[in-house]
Structure 1
């Protein structure tokens, strides 16, 4: 296995593309594809060439999820090589460029922006930002959907699809039980905590779904995780447990805002937590606040009135909302 690191100045940072080559069958498989920018395509082409391959040699692309920094070049790769592109069934229509699915996602975003109490001028700013970056999603392509538990034989190994929704509806890790390692996309990251609530507005109960995914990853307990950004994670279960505890703390911070300010919108809670935001973070900040407010409301600790949320109990038991991960290790990032 080889890793290619592709530039990404719009979103989280450098993207990882993993290159799996089966010498017995001459098959070339990529896990994720990078963002659809000409300079990134050139970088991918150059780095593949350093390994002795061309874009035309790619036989399959396994996508961890639909976000453009992971799936953007899949269509261009398919056009060049005829590669089969695989994506989880929840994300496949967006990767394929299905117009109805894309329109539904954009309409749902606009609805959420209003529900979050986002001011009109900031909605317009965010809509302009997203519109200006639509091309990063790349060319439409034919997509072969897969489901949780499906498997792929690659490079003499079997990769099992492990569905881990939260950050995205179809986010999936590819787990090799023999090597005890997983390609996890943005399910867990070594530095940042993956955004929930804003990164994919299609996810119902985004924080609850993500907590379940973290617990599933902890239960899987691979020895190594290969993330979509930055470097290898050597204690994936410990990192997942650390992220879970982070969300407990963030929920406590949200409760503190409501206790101090009274009934508040996700936009107002986001401002209290993160300050003034720009670019993609105008989506991620209130989305993250919404995910925590929604989790409180879904469990009866807060109530929603229109766009505002307020505490039912001024001293809620936040810890009761989150299962014990059963892992005490703390895995924080250090430069």
Structure 2
């Protein structure tokens, strides 16, 4: 397996594609549809002795454009099969009904979160100005948890890890150090993946993501190959660190409501993150919402319309966000 680093100046940067050589050359994620990233991918393949036309399969970790954007044009040139979890398949395929529904959910959430007009206009302009990053139409083959996909000279096992995206999936394989996995944005080596704003289709986003972190700890992979930056040598440990980060953020959300009183998700986000621009106008209140939603479900916070108020001033974040024990 070979990692192909990809640039990405539009979103968070430093994407990865992975080439699995062998009888069925396979790409895991492909980068956003820009000229610079296209060149990065072509140069990376060329350095490894491959051409786009050689690719037989493309495996996508989730539907975001910085992981899927070039899939359509690669498929058109190589006739590669494209696999993605069934929950994300309609968006990757460009299904008009699925895209329209995702936009309807977004519009409803933006109103519920209380995003003011000016930042909302900035966000809408940013998102509308990057539609082309989705790339060309893709003919997808949906997969689900536990499915196996022939790749290289072996196979990948689908491991569904929703939270950051509804269909986000890792792909597990037998590696040099034991059982390893391509994990997309389920865990990242430096940043914590956004939860709540990255895919507004996810119900109970924080609880869903915490369950996925718990599963990652149980699976105890020897190494994880993320969608951004460098390999993660202790995936279970990293999952535990991220869960602890969400425990700390839950404490901060409780403190904001205790100190400032009832507030909507946008106001809580402002206390957490300060001023936001472009894509972070989505991710900030989305993250705040994920935690507020979690607290409402726990009975610690009450929701009245768009506002959230503290109902239990004695609540402890450690009892609301469990941090799984690392097995090693």
Q: TM-score, normalised by structure 2?
A: 0.97
Which residue pairs with 2:209 in the alignment? 210
After TM superposition, give the deviation of residue 326 of structure 1 in Å: 1.1
Structure 2 counterparts to residues 56-135 of structure 1, below 5 A: 56-135=53-132
Other-structure match for 1:254: 253
- Cα distance in 2 for partners of 1:88, 1:266 equals 30
C-alpha distance after superposition, 1:153-181 (max 9, x if no partner): 32233311000000000000001146311
Residues 222-237 of structure 1: pairs in structure 2 closer than 5 A: 222-237=221-236
Which residue of 1 is the match for residue 8 of structure 2? 8
What's the CA shift for 1:203?
Answer: 0.2
Q: Which runs of 5+ in 1 are unaligned?
A: 330-335
Is 1:308 the counterpart of 2:307? The answer is yes
- Tell me if structure 1 keeps the 8 A contact 2:82–2:141: yes
Per-residue Cα deviation, 1:295-318 (whole angstroms, up to 9, x for no partner): 000111101111110111112122
CA distance in 2: counterparts of 1:77 and 1:243, whole angstroms = 34
The match for 1:276 is 275
* Alignment match, 1:51: 48
User: Structure 2 regions of 5+ residues with no counterpart?
Assistant: none
Contact 1:241 1:328 in 2 (8 A): no
Q: CA deviation at 1:39?
A: 2.1
Taking the aligned partners of 1:221 and 1:328, their CA distance within structure 2 comes to 7
TM-score, normalization by structure 1 = 0.95
Query: Contact between 2:217 and 2:327, CA under 8 Å: does it hold in 1?
Result: no
SS of residue in 2 equivalent to 1:249: helix
Q: For the Cα contact (< 8 Å) 2:164–2:209, is it kept in 1?
A: yes
Q: What is the 5 A alignment of 1:168-187?
A: 168-177=165-174, 179-187=178-186
Alpha-carbon distance in structure 2 between the residues aligned to 1:195 and 1:324: 18
Corresponding residue for residue 242 of structure 1: 241
Aligned residues: 326
